[in-house]
């Protein structure tokens, strides 16, 4: 786990996102490597904040509540990332682009990093919820990454980006609802 790589990549996305997407388009990382090198460390980082926030700031100071919050975050994040990549990859031919799961997965993973990090940090304390607005930068990153990674024609770019962002949002809501319902059900019984 190379934290310097993650920090450098995030800094590059903040300072020059278009150039960073061009670099990513040329990289030969496998989906497995992307998950190991970026998603797992970021999710673990955020999980620590979520767990600590639940223990330190809630009235019951329960490690059980912290563990359930981390479990739900992990499941929602992984299912949303994977399903989004697969569904959006299947959508590509309808917009005159070739399927490429690796490039689609890169787009989903790297554009979601700000949202994953900010959610974890903002979960540390209830008064830090305003930080979630920073996660909107994930939408900007996604928008800027579609062209260099997926090679859509210019006339199809806006429609694809809007439809795929709606799909990601819907998936996130559905997956969150299902997982949270299951966790609540099993924690009560």
Give residue-wise pLDDT tens across range 126-148.
Answer: 788 888 898 899 999 999 999 99
Using the predicted structure, report yes or no on whether residue 8 has a pLDDT greater than 80: yes
Alpha-helix runs per DSSP H in the chain: 3-15, 17-26, 31-34, 40-57, 63-91, 101-122, 137-150, 154-188
Nearest to 187 by CA among 68, 74, 73: 68
Give the distance from CA 180 to its chain's centroid. 18
188 pLDDT tier (thresholds 50, 70, 90): low
Whole domain around residue 143: which residue ranges?
A: 3-188
Q: 31-35, 62-66, 79-83, 138-142: lowest mean pLDDT where?
A: 62-66
Using the predicted structure, report yes or no on whether residue 59 has a pLDDT greater than 80: no
CA distance 75 to 43: 10
Averaged over 156-161, what is the pLDDT? 92
73 burial level (CB within 10 Å; 0-12, 13-18, 19+): buried
Query: Measured between alpha carbons, how far apart are the two ends of the chain, in Å?
Result: 38
CB atoms within 10 A of CB 159: 12
In total, how many domains does the chain have?
Answer: 1
Q: 4-18, 28-42, 159-173: lowest mean pLDDT where?
A: 4-18
Averaged over 45-63, what is the pLDDT? 82
């Amino acid at each position: 786990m190379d934290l310097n790589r993650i920090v450098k990549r995030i800094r590059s996305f903040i300072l020059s996102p278009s150039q960073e997407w061009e670099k990513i388009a040329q990289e030969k990382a496998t989906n497995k490597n992307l998950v190991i090198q970026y998603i797992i460390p970021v999710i673990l980082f955020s999980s620590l904040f979520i767990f600590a926030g639940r223990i330190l700031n809630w009235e019951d100071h329960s490690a059980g509540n912290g563990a359930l919050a981390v479990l739900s975050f992990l499941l929602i994040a992984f299912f949303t990332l994977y399903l989004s990549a697969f569904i959006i990859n299947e959508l590509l031919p309808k917009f005159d682009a070739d399927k490429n799961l690796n490039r689609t997965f890169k787009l989903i993973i790297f554009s979601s990093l700000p949202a994953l990090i900010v959610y974890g940090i903002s979960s540390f304390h209830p008064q830090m919820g305003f930080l979630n607005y920073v996660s909107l930068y994930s939408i900007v990153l996604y928008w800027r990454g579609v062209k260099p990674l997926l090679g859509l024609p210019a006339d199809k770019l806006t429609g694809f980006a809007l439809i795929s962002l709606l799909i990601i949002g819907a998936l996130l809501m559905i997956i969150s609802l299902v997982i949270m319902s299951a966790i609540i059900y099993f924690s009560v019984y």
